[in-house]
Amino acid sequence: MNRLAEIMAQNKDFVENKQYESMLTSKYPDKKLVIVTCMDTRLVELLPKALRIRNGDVKMIKTAGALIHHPYDSVMRSVIVAVTMLKAEEVLVIGHLDCGMAGLKGEQVVDRLKDRGVALEELNGQDVNNWLSGCEVIEQGVLNTVKLIKEHPLLPKDVKVHGLTIDPTTGQLALLYEDQ
């Protein structure tokens, strides 16, 4: 069975057996939190469990490295929507140790793209290397993202923005910045 067929079959089983019933909730986050974190596979189950987060508790936004490079990208839009339309009041930016985005240079990604025959001329005039880059160290990446959110002209002043890292093995959090 291919991957998609397997997913479809498992989904049919999930719905028919009403496994959703224990997860019924609303679109408003009960803990009034937005979490911006990385797409890392090790965090899929670990992060919610390590923070005692259940379905309905938070708005979870995932992006490589938990990094926001541009103030008007889709991650920042999600944060703004969460704190205005969805009743969230605080933002946690949670990077993680051993993140693939730490030390990643856009040039490395571009080289792989070239190897796979991608025509990069299409992107003339755009700063592709910067757009594809990670950060030097994850702690600084988290702090830069916290600063970008906190200083965003569209962010209401009463929204708190905190910065943390999580260990992708143990789930242990480390606090980098607490917004008082």
Binding interface with Zn ion (CB under 5 A):
38, 40, 99
Specify the residue, 66 or 88, whose C-beta has the smaller distance to Zn ion.
Answer: 66
Least gap, CB of 65 to Zn ion (angstroms): 5
Least gap, CB of 28 to Zn ion (angstroms): 28
Specify the residue, 33 or 38, whose C-beta has the smaller distance to Zn ion.
Answer: 38
Specify the residue, 34 or 38, whose C-beta has the smaller distance to Zn ion.
Answer: 38
Q: How far is CA 177 from CA 3, 6, 122, 144, 147, in A?
A: 41, 42, 40, 11, 10
Least gap, CB of 129 to Zn ion (angstroms): 19
Least gap, CB of 96 to Zn ion (angstroms): 5
Least gap, CB of 6 to Zn ion (angstroms): 26
- Overall residue count recorded for the chain in this entry: 180
Contact assessment for residue 75 and residue 61, using Cβ atoms and an 8 Å cutoff: yes
Specify the residue, 75 or 83, whose C-beta has the smaller distance to Zn ion.
Answer: 75
Where are the alpha helices (H) located in the chain, listed in sequence order?
Answer: 3-16, 43-50, 74-84, 106-115, 128-132, 138-150
Q: How far is CA 15 from CA 9, 26, 118, 161, in A?
A: 10, 18, 40, 37
Q: Whole-angstrom Cα distance, residue 114 to residue 153?
A: 38
Q: Please choose, from the candidates 155, 158, 176, 180, the residue with its C-alpha nearest in 3D space to the C-alpha of residue 93.
A: 176
Specify the residue, 40 or 139, whose C-beta has the smaller distance to Zn ion.
Answer: 40
Contact assessment for residue 9 and residue 1, using Cβ atoms and an 8 Å cutoff: yes
